[in-house]
Structure 1
Amino acid sequence: MKFAVMLAAPLALVLAAPAAQAAAAKPWGPYAKSGVTASGKLTASGEDHEVLPTADTVTIKGKVTDRSRSRNCGWLLLRITYRKGSNLPFLDRWVTTCSYGKPLSFTRTYHDVYQVEFKVCSAPKSSKPSTTCYYSGSWKVGYLSPH
């Protein structure tokens, strides 16, 4: 009986380890500009900062709402910096809504992520954000791999 208890304690710790490593969702935002608001949660999992300073997977969930009362649309810009070899290139992605007052929900997942940045703006409907959207205002860091 004593032997069974001695084996059970270490086994319980091993079995509990994956649950302890589960990443908690952290809020980002709310970010607002010109009647556009965006907020949500970001989950980074599989962080191994001793080998590669990145998260294996980052999931971004959120809502974008356009209350600009103009012909413009609400834009949320995402800048995803990832690791590729010894370089840190980035992807620019976006979520846009032109439905006044109706929040647009989204979920995006990225891999080998070093940093996530956000920016909101109001701009005309288009296939991609305007240069004014990209270059005016500042990017807000939502996730940075601790290294």
Structure 2
Amino acid sequence: MKTSRILTGLALAAAFVTLAPAAAMAATASGPGGFADLSWGPYYSAGKYAKAGGTLSVHGEDDADIPSADKVKVSGKLYDLTSRRVNTCGWAVFRVSYLKDPATVKLRQHAFRNCDPKNWAGFSFTGKDVYQVEFKICAEPKASKPSFACLYQGTWKTLYLAK
């Protein structure tokens, strides 16, 4: 009985440690008229081979029927922190969820690459009727798109979640 209580306590503590930072990082629009300008990052890839950070602007958050923002703009800088001898690139990958109706979630992915360790690469994109914006950063060999390992291993960081 005592062992099960300890294990239950440890499981709850682990869940809290895992979920609390994600909830704290999730941004919501709170300005007048549903407008917010929020900073995100810096975030580092595993091994600190890449770094990204920037701003997220939310306009016209409307939760009357379906929680979503009329317009979301994400912009930032991506750094490749490796040397030129290493053929590695930094990837900033965004997963944007759109809610068209309560039963339909559409996903769109935006990926940005920087293979130049001497210079940062700027990026920007906008979305309409956005429900959620998630982010992931990876460093891996030069390729035309991020690998499955980059996309599907590890966790996504929530940058914005409509409420």
Q: What's the TM-score, normalizing by structure 1?
A: 0.81
What does residue range 127-146 of structure 1 map to in structure 2 within 5 Å? 127-146=144-163
> Of residues 101, 113, 133 in structure 2, which corresponds to 1:116?
133
Deviation at 1:136, TM superposition (A): 2.0
Q: What secondary structure is seen at the aligned counterpart in 2 of 1:41?
A: strand
Q: What secondary structure is seen at the aligned counterpart in 2 of 1:100?
A: coil
Match of 1:44 in 2: 58
Letter matched to residue 82 of structure 1: Y
Q: What's the TM-score, normalizing by structure 2?
A: 0.74
Cα distance per residue 1:70-104 (max 9 Å; x no partner): 20100001000011233112111111111113111
CA RMSD of aligned residues (A): 1.5
Runs of 4+ in 1 over 3 A off after TM superposition: none
Instruction: Please state if 1:126 is matched with 2:143.
Output: yes
Gaps of 5+ in 2: 1-30
Match of 1:29 in 2: 41
Deviation at 1:119, TM superposition (A): 0.4
Match of 2:14 in 1: none
Aligned residues: 128
Deviation at 1:20, TM superposition (A): 3.5
Instruction: Work out which of the two has the higher radius of gyration on C-alpha atoms and give 1 or 2.
Output: 1
Deviation at 1:137, TM superposition (A): 1.9
Change (3 A) 1:121 1:87: same
User: Structure 1 vs Structure 2: percent identity of aligned residues?
Assistant: 38
